[in-house]
Amino acid sequence: MTPKEQYYENIAGTIIKNLEKRRMNGYYCPTAKEAADLAMSLIQPGATVGTGGSMTLEECGIMSQLRSREDITFLDRAAGQTPEEVTNILHRMLLSDSFLMSTNAITIDGELVNIDGSGNRVAALIYGPKDVIIVAGRNKVCPDLHSAYRRVKDIASPPNCLRLNKNTPCAKTGRCGDCLGDDSICSQTVVTRRSGIVGRIKVILVGEELGY
């Protein structure tokens, strides 16, 4: 193990202890593959499963595993043929057994910071699904809430807007313009400081950079 790898494992250990104080379960996986395997093991056979939009889940291979798993009902928004069908799938996700997502940022003190456009992802995080499984690369770790907020606005949002073909200031300049236009993906800001239900939120920290 290199000093850098040991450093990230140590940081993850600190975050996991702080997550436990906040009634959330924490795990650490050195690689994305191990994280995907762990996430899959946390989903029970027969479960109905939803996901938030996430490059992390794509990069880990979790999305492809969900689509190929025959013992669950996967609510895949990509299966929607019309906007109405996609909306119906997103609504059904709010009553799923397991909801998988990443987080835009996580502080060393164990707080989750997420900013959403439509709000379906943070809605599921807050209330509805029986279990929420979060996969977060080491690049999502921030010292405190202020740096976590700035990370979302200036590091995560610009490439997400480019990916989604949004006409926003950050897509053009790489910096948050605090916009209010139709294409803004920053509508809801949610800080999760504790889980209302003990163990409902499970956070898998990964010793690799994943997502935006």
Residue 48 forms part of a structural domain: yes
Residue 23 forms part of a structural domain: yes
Element (H, E) at 201: strand 201-206
Residue 87 forms part of a structural domain: yes
Is a pLDDT exceeding 90 seen at residue 80? Answer: no
Return the CATH number at 80: 3.40.50.10420
Is a pLDDT exceeding 90 seen at residue 4? Answer: no
Residue 111 forms part of a structural domain: yes
Residue 173 forms part of a structural domain: yes
| pLDDT tens profile 52-77 | 999 999 999 999 999 999 999 999 99
Is a pLDDT exceeding 90 seen at residue 188? Answer: yes
3-state secondary structure of 100: strand
DSSP letter, residue 188: E
DSSP letter, residue 78: G
Residue 211 forms part of a structural domain: no
Cβ atoms 83, 132 nearer than 8 A: no
Is a pLDDT exceeding 90 seen at residue 1? Answer: no
Total structural domains in the chain? 1
Residue 212 forms part of a structural domain: no
Is a pLDDT exceeding 90 seen at residue 82? Answer: yes
pLDDT-wise least confident of 90-94, 116-120, 191-195: 116-120
Confidence class of residue 81 from pLDDT cuts 50, 70 and 90?
Answer: confident
Three-class HEC string of 129-168: CCEEEEEEEHHHEECCHHHHHHHHHHHHHHHHHHHCCCCC
What CA–CA distances, in Å, run from 105 to 87, 90, 98, 156?
26, 23, 21, 9
Dihedral of the alpha carbons of 77, 83, 88, 94, in degrees to the nearest 10: 60
The range of the structural domain enclosing residue 145 comes to 3-206
Is a pLDDT exceeding 90 seen at residue 5? Answer: no
Please tell me the pTM assigned to this model.
Answer: 0.95
